[in-house]
Structure 1
Amino acid sequence: MPKASEAPQQLILDELQQEPALAAFDAEAAALLNSTGLVSVQPDMRGGWQVLPAGRVGAVQVGDLLVQVRPKAKVGLDRLLFLLGYAQNPGFRPDDVAGAEEKDLFSALAESLTRQGERALARGALSGYIHVEEALRTVRGRIRVGDQITRRPGMLLPLEVSFDEFTIDIPENRILRAALRRMLQLPRLSPVQRGRLAHLDAKLDGVTLLRAGAPLPTWDESRANAHYGPALRLAEIILSNMSAETGLRRQRVASFVVNMATVFEDFVTVALREALTGVPGRTEGQYECFLDEPDGTRRSRVRMFADVVHVVDGKPAAVFDAKYKASSWSGYPNADQYQMLAYCTALSVPRAWLVYADAGQVRVRKVENASVEIVEFPLDLSRAPKELLAVIKYLACRAVLG
C-alpha cells in the first residue's frame, strides 16, 4: 500500500482498483470526497485515509488535492467524452475534444472548452431572434388583448405586448456562457487559462446567466449556428456532469463524475438506433416487457426492461443488453445469462445479444433444451471512435438482417 504523503497534490486510481490508496488530508476534504460518489474514503488505523474507487470515473478537486479515477481498458479522456457526447448527440465527433493531451481531466476540459469557444466566437457572438412577451408603456409588436384584459382590466397602460427581438441572448449563447462560468469556478486553473476563459465570457456580456440546476435551453443545429456545434456539445457535457461549489470552510470544490455503466448503456442504445436507421422497423431503448402472463387477478406481473429492442411489424425481432464489465476466465456471471434467456422467452426471439465493454472474441452459447442462443459480443472501448461505430454497425446488421 502506498505511504501517506504529507501534502498530497494528486491521487490517481484505476476504476477496477481493489487495493486502497493511502493519503493524508483533513476531515473536511474526506467528507467532501465521499459526498461526490467518485471514491469511498475511510480512516486508516495507521493514520491518514484509505481511498477506493466507488464505481464511477472522473475527477474531484478539493483545494489543492486532485483525485482522479480512470476508466478501465485505457479509455482516455477523448474516448470518454466521445462516448458521453455521442450518447447525447450522434453528431458529436472525436475532434470536438481539443485538449485531450492535458495531464488531468479538468485541465483537458478547460482547454477543450477554451479552444472550441474561441473558434465559435472568432466572428463575434451569434445573434438570433427570440420571442418576447413584456408589459410596456408603448406599443411594440402585437398587443396581447386577452392578457391585457385579464391582467389589467380597465387599464390602458402598461400594454401587454409580444414581439420578436434580434439579440445575442439566445439559447446557444446561454449554454456556452454557463459552461464558461462553470469552468471559471475550478480551483486550480492557471492564470493564462483563467484569462482566456474570462475573455470569452466577456464576449458574451449581456447574455442571461442560467440558474444552477435549471434545465438547459434547447437549440437546433442549423447553417447559422453550425460553427457553434462543437463548443455547444462540449458545454452540455460539462453542465450535465460537472459541479463547482464552495465547501464549509470556503474551500473550493469541483467534480466531474460519471457512471460508466450508464454511459456505456446509453452509447450502445444510441449507436444501435443510428446504425439501424433505414432498416424496416423501429429501435426502442428500455423496452418494457413481462416475464409472466396475466393470471386474471390484480397481482402485479414481473416487469422487465430490455436495454435495446428492434421491433418489426409490432413484434420484437432482436434484443440487446449492454454490460459494462470485463469478461473473466469463467465467462459471465450466471445472472447475465438468465436475464438474456428471460428476454428471449418473454419476447419470443431466438437470439439475444449481450454487448460487453471488453476486448475478446464473439462467443455463441446455445441454451440446452431450448431453441435459444445468447451471443456474447465484445466492444473494445480502446478502439478509435470510427472503429467503435463500425463494430456497432456490424452488430446491428448481423442481429437484424442476419
Structure 2
Amino acid sequence: MNSIGAPEPVVLTEVGTKEVVLALDDNQVAALRAADLVTVRRAAGGQWKLKAGRKVGAIRIGNIEIEVTPKVGVANMLFFLGYAAHPGFRPEDVAGIPTAGLWPALATSLIRHTRRAIASGPLRGYATVDDALPLVRGRIRFGDHLAGRPGIPLPIEVQYDEYSKDIPENRIMRTAVRRMLAVPRLRPADQADLTELDARLAGVTVLPPGTPPPVWHTSRLNARYDPALRLSELILQHCSADPGAGPHTIAAFVVNMEKVFEAFIGAALREALSAYPGHTETPAKDALDAGQAIRIEPDVLHIINGQPAAVFDAKYKIEPGTGKPTNPDIYQMLAYCTALNLRIGWIIYAEGTEPPTTWRIRNSGTTIGYRPLNLRQPPHQLLKDVQYFADSAMRKAAPLRHHA
C-alpha cells in the first residue's frame, strides 16, 4: 500500500545515460542487485550509483522506489509481453491505460479487464476437493485414510467434485488482484476498485507466492475472461510483493526488454507465417558444421517440406548510436544462410536508425536484408509491419543451391 509522505520515486529511462546517487542500506543494495533492474555501484560517502540498462519496470524497497521506463512506452511494453505469451492478446487489450507510471498502468488495465470479465458474476465450474468429513461424500481416499488415521473410522478422507467459483480462472485473477493491492503508488480510486474486485471473488483460493498459475484453456464459457486472464498471468509472472529478507517490504515488476522483443518477434512472425505451408520454429536449433559441433540458433526459421525456407534474427539495440546493423550481426546471418542453404536472410532491428537495406555478399550468391521496426507505433501497425516482413521473405524464399 502507499505510505503517506513517501518520497517521490526515482525515474530512469531504459538504456539512458543518467545516473542517480542514493543512500542505501545493505538490505536495499542486496535487493536491488537481486532484482537486477538497475546496476548498483558504490559511490563516495557510503552512497550508491544507480543506472538503467535494458531491463524495465519498477521496484520499491522500504521507502525507496525506482522506476525504469521503457522507451517504447508502457502500453506497448505490455502488448509485447502479452502477445509473446499469447498471440490472441489484442492491441485493444492495452488501449487507454495511463502513460505515467508502471504501477497505475498495470492497476488500471487489470481493473478494467477483471471488471468486464465478472460483470455478470464470476464463472463457476466443478473443482476437485480433497477433505476429511464425518460422512462419505464422493470417493473415499482409502490410502490417505489408512496412512493418516489407521484404525480411526472418522473423519473420512474423501475426494469429491464441487460446483463453485474456486476454479483456475478465478484463482489466477484474484491472485493478480491481491498482488496489485500490495504495490506502491496506487491511486485511492484504484485501491478501492481492486478491493471491490477482491471482495467479489471472495471464497476463491489465492495462490501462494512462487506457485505456478493453474492451467486453463480458452473455451466458449470463459471467452469473456480471456483478456483479464492474459494480463493476470503477466502480473503473476513478472510482479512480486514480498516481506523481504531484511526489514523492508519489497514490490517489484521487472522485465528484460531484449528477451521480450525476441519473444514478440518470434510470436508475431509465427502468426504471420501461419498462412503459408510448413511450420515455424522460434527459436530454431541447428548446426553450422557437418559434424554438428558448432550450434546455431536463429530466432525464427520457417520450414516447408522439411527444408528451411526463411530465416530471421531479432536485434534489440536501442542505445544511442547502435540502431544500425553491425558487421558481427551480418556475419552471423551469413553463417545461418550458409548452414541452412538459404539465398536470403533477414535481420530485424528494434528502433533501427537506417532505412531498409540489403547486401549482396560477394562470391556467395547470398543476400542479407536489414529491416528496422518502429516499436513506438500502435500495436496494430506493428503487427502489419511484421506481416509485411514475412510476406517479403516468402516471396523471395529460395534455396541457395542444391546440396551435393
Match of 2:312 among 313, 320, 337: 320
Match of 1:287 among 284, 287, 295: 284
Alpha-carbon distance, 1:100 to partner: 2.5
Structure-1 separation of matches of 2:210 and 2:153? 39
Structure-1 separation of matches of 2:384 and 2:362? 32
Tell me, what secondary structure is at the counterpart of 2:127? Answer: strand
Tell me, what secondary structure is at the counterpart of 2:299? Answer: strand
Where do residues 88-99 of structure 1 align in structure 2 (5 Å cutoff)? Answer: 88-97=85-94
2:395 matches 1:396 = no
Residues 191/19 of structure 1: CA separation in 2 closer, same or farther (3 Å cut): closer
1:296-352 CA-partner distances (Å, limit 9, x unpaired): xxxx71112111100000011111111111494894222211211111111111111
Equivalent residues, number: 389
The equivalent residue for 1:311 is: 303
Residues 273/337 of structure 1: CA separation in 2 closer, same or farther (3 Å cut): same
Match of 1:210 among 199, 207, 211: 207
Structure-2 separation of matches of 1:318 and 1:177? 43
Residues 329/179 of structure 1: CA separation in 2 closer, same or farther (3 Å cut): closer
Whether the 8 Å contact between 1:8 and 1:23 is mirrored in structure 2 is no
TM-score by length of 1: 0.87
The equivalent residue for 2:355 is: 361
2:239 matches 1:239 = no
Structure-2 separation of matches of 1:98 and 1:116? 11
Whether the 8 Å contact between 1:362 and 1:377 is mirrored in structure 2 is yes
The equivalent residue for 1:4 is: none
Residues 329/20 of structure 1: CA separation in 2 closer, same or farther (3 Å cut): closer
Tell me, what secondary structure is at the counterpart of 1:306? Answer: coil
2:352 matches 1:345 = no
2:219 matches 1:227 = no
The equivalent residue for 1:39 is: 38
Structure-2 separation of matches of 1:106 and 1:77? 10
Which shows bigger deviation, 128-137 or 239-248?
A: 128-137
1:59-104 CA-partner distances (Å, limit 9, x unpaired): 11223332121223xx111100000000011111233236622521
2:84 matches 1:84 = no
Structure-1 separation of matches of 2:97 and 2:90? 14
The equivalent residue for 1:104 is: 101
Alpha-carbon distance, 1:169 to partner: 0.7
Whether the 8 Å contact between 1:98 and 1:116 is mirrored in structure 2 is no
Alpha-carbon distance, 1:184 to partner: 1.5
Alpha-carbon distance, 1:16 to partner: 1.9
Residues 249/314 of structure 1: CA separation in 2 closer, same or farther (3 Å cut): closer
TM-score by length of 2: 0.87
Alpha-carbon distance, 1:177 to partner: 0.9
Structure-2 separation of matches of 1:90 and 1:219? 16
2:119 matches 1:122 = yes
Tell me, what secondary structure is at the counterpart of 1:292? Answer: coil
Whether the 8 Å contact between 1:63 and 1:187 is mirrored in structure 2 is no
The equivalent residue for 1:65 is: 64
1:157-211 CA-partner distances (Å, limit 9, x unpaired): 8777654421101010000011011111113434433232122112111111212
Residues 278/161 of structure 1: CA separation in 2 closer, same or farther (3 Å cut): farther
1:127-186 CA-partner distances (Å, limit 9, x unpaired): 112345666665545678999999999999877765442110101000001101111111
Where do residues 94-173 of structure 1 align in structure 2 (5 Å cutoff)? Answer: 94-97=91-94, 100-101=97-98, 103-132=100-129, 138-141=135-138, 163-173=160-170
Whether the 8 Å contact between 1:284 and 1:309 is mirrored in structure 2 is yes
Tell me, what secondary structure is at the counterpart of 1:287? Answer: coil
Which shows bigger deviation, 109-118 or 265-274?
A: 109-118
Whether the 8 Å contact between 2:74 and 2:99 is mirrored in structure 1 is no
The equivalent residue for 1:3 is: none
Where do residues 20-35 of structure 1 align in structure 2 (5 Å cutoff)? Answer: 20-35=19-34
Structure-1 separation of matches of 2:309 and 2:124? 47
1:257-279 CA-partner distances (Å, limit 9, x unpaired): 11111100100111111111131
Q: Which runs of 5+ in 1 are unaligned?
A: 1-6, 295-299
Whether the 8 Å contact between 2:75 and 2:99 is mirrored in structure 1 is no
Where do residues 263-274 of structure 1 align in structure 2 (5 Å cutoff)? Answer: 263-274=260-271
Where do residues 328-343 of structure 1 align in structure 2 (5 Å cutoff)? Answer: 328=321, 331-343=324-336
Match of 1:383 among 343, 367, 377: 377
Structure-1 separation of matches of 2:157 and 2:243? 41
Alpha-carbon distance, 1:357 to partner: 0.4
The equivalent residue for 1:183 is: 180
Residues 11/174 of structure 1: CA separation in 2 closer, same or farther (3 Å cut): same
Which shows bigger deviation, 268-277 or 156-165?
A: 156-165
Instruction: Name the amino acid aligned to 1:352.
Output: G
Residues 71/190 of structure 1: CA separation in 2 closer, same or farther (3 Å cut): closer
Q: Which runs of 5+ in 2 are unaligned?
A: 1-5, 397-404
Give the fraction of aligned pairs with identical amino acids, expressed as a percent. 46
Instruction: Name the amino acid aligned to 1:364.
Output: T
Tell me, what secondary structure is at the counterpart of 1:264? Answer: helix
